[in-house]
């Protein structure tokens, strides 16, 4: 049997001609990523193990994005640890206040990751970079420490599920609706330690922002990684941007998949994941009687330019409903700047929203939008677990930017319909 796309990347980085599902390998890394929450733990493990040098200062990225600008003394101390380590080891890709962004929006934008890479990150949503045709996955801080020192990581080669995409998304839907629909179909453990590989004619109709969103939430189905084939959309994105030469891997025609699932994009409808799991999905139109208190548009899932554009077109010239707190968070400083230049920020403020500098903030219940007991938030983030955004008696509903912006105008979960 042949190999899947993921297996081919892993085989190449392990120096092997072939790998099989379940095989343990040791692979070379193109990038090791950490943030302001996970890097301090990795730094402690790095020092505890007696490591003195990083394997390559240009292959490590440290992004301060969760509690930056620092929200309290603990956050400040964590950031200080990151700054001191980055300075001591001359880490090239260190992103602090003023030039940072939400890590999984920032690294593709800056060309730090590219097609064919093998990437680990001490953040579960590192699987985002599969949108570029890379193998990328989240690890613990101990693995991050070992990766920074050795440039290697061990993996169990995952089996794969093939998602065959056809058709084209309706205008009021996005990649968020695709991945929520899939998770609702297979469940939060439906792809446990498997590779979610997206193929088919429908792929070419998805933008890079759609693909990044879809791969970002592969972990919410339990997957080891998500990955898209490298096509014209991919090459248009990475050309002139990537700091390394992209390498294209293709699945063999006789690659083995545990399962094949057909998804007709033209049949996708706006959906919402209700508390308290991403698999608890329902069509947005069936939830119109659910009153909300807060809307968050942003995160590593949906803080990209297309998300800001969709939000702008829905909110411009309108007013957010009384009693609704609408928080909009562009994913990177470049996106923030582009929003300013296009007049989006003014429109957001005129509508009654607050706009933040890039941060993960409210997504993990950090800051910039914590919920009190009994409050409900409709968010474009990726998780809606109990207490995820604040009090254990609060509720988080997950949706696309289209649905979130439309709901901010009504104060209730609302399906957006183009007029």
> What pLDDT, in 10s, does the model give residues 95-124?
999 998 999 999 999 999 999 999 999 999
417: pLDDT confidence band, cut at 50, 70 and 90?
confident
- Band the pLDDT of 231: cuts 50, 70, 90: very high
What separation in angstroms does the CA of 417 have from each of 8, 96, 170, 255, 268?
42, 39, 10, 40, 14
Taken in order of first residue, the domains within the chain and their CATH numbers are 5-264 (3.30.499.10), 272-410 (3.30.499.10)
Q: What is the pLDDT of residues 23-82, one digit of tens each?
A: 999 999 999 999 999 999 999 999 999 999 999 999 999 999 999 999 999 999 999 999
* Collapsed DSSP state (helix, strand, coil) of residue 99: coil
β pairing state of 160-166 and 195-199: parallel
Q: Binning pLDDT at 50, 70 and 90, where does residue 206 land?
A: very high
| pLDDT band with cut points at 50, 70 and 90 for residue 387 | very high
Q: With H, G, I as helix, E, B as strand and everything else as coil, classify residue 46.
A: helix
Select from 39, 77, 218, 242 the least CA-distant residue to 135. 218
In 165-281, which ranges are continuous DSSP H helix?
175-186, 208-216, 232-238
Contacts of 419 (CB under 8 A, 6+ apart): none
Q: What is the pLDDT of residues 321-348, one digit of tens each?
A: 999 999 999 999 999 999 999 999 999 9
Under the banding of pLDDT at 50, 70 and 90, the label for residue 276 is: very high
Rounded mean pLDDT of 202-208? 97
In percent, how much of the chain has pLDDT > 70? 100
C-alpha 416, offset from chain centre: 23
344 vs 238: CA distance, rounded Å:
26
Whether the per-residue pLDDT at 395 is higher than 70: the answer is yes
What number is the average pLDDT over the span 396-401? 98
Mean pLDDT for the chain overall: 96
Q: What is the pLDDT of residue 1?
A: 80
Please give the pLDDT value at position 419. 55
**What sign results for the dihedral spanned by CA atoms 142, 301, 207, 242?**
negative
The confidence band for 218, taking pLDDT boundaries of 50, 70 and 90, is very high
Residue 278 reports pLDDT greater than 60: yes
State pTM to two decimals.
Answer: 0.95
Of the chain, the percentage scoring pLDDT greater than 90 comes to: 98
Cis peptide before 378 (omega within 30 of 0): no
């Amino acid at each position: 049997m042949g190999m899947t796309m993921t297996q081919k990347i892993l085989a190449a980085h392990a120096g092997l001609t072939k790998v099989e599902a379940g095989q343990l390998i040791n692979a070379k890394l193109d990038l090791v990523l950490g943030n302001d929450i996970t890097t301090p733990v990795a730094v402690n493990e790095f020092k505890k193990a007696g490591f003195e040098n990083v394997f390559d200062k240009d292959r490590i990225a440290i992004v301060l994005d969760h509690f930056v600008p620092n929200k309290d003394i603990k956050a400040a101390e964590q950031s200080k640890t990151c700054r001191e380590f980055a300075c001591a080891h001359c880490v090239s890709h260190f992103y602090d206040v003023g030039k940072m962004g939400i890590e999984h929006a920032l690294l593709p934008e800056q060309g730090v990751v590219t097609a064919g890479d093998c990437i680990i990150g001490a953040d579960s949503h590192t699987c985002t970079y599969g949108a570029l045709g890379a193998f990328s996955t989240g690890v613990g801080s101990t693995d991050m420490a070992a990766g920074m020192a050795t440039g290697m990581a061990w993996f169990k080669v995952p089996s794969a599920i093939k998602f065959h995409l056809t058709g084209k998304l309706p205008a009021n839907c996005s990649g968020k609706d695709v991945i929520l629909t899939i998770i609702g179909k297979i469940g939060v453990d439906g792809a446990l330690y498997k590779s979610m590989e997206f193929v088919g004619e429908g792929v070419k109709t998805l933008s890079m922002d759609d693909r990044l969103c879809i791969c970002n939430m592969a972990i919410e189905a339990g997957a080891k990684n998500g990955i898209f084939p490298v096509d014209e959309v991919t090459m248009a994105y990475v050309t002139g941007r990537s700091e390394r030469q992209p390498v294209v891997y293709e699945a063999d025609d006789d690659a083995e998949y545990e399962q094949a699932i057909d998804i007709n994009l033209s049949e996708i409808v706006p959906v919402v994941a209700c508390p308290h799991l991403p698999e608890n999905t329902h069509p947005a139109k069936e939830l119109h009687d659910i009153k909300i208190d807060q809307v968050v548009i942003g995160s590593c899932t949906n803080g990209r330019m297309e998300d800001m554009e969709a939000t702008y077109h829905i909110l411009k010239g309108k007013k957010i409903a009384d009693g609704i707190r609408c928080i909009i968070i562009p994913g990177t400083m470049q996106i923030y700047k582009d929003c300013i230049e296009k007049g989006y920020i003014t429109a957001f403020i005129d509508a009654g929203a607050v706009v933040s500098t890039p941060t993960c903030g409210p997504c993990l219940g950090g800051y910039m939008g914590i919920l009190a007991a009994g409050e409900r938030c409709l968010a474009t983030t990726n998780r809606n677990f109990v207490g995820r955004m604040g009090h254990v008696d609060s509720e988080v509903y997950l949706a696309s930017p289209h649905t979130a912006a439309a709901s901010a105008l009504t104060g209730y979960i609302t399906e957006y319909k183009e007029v």
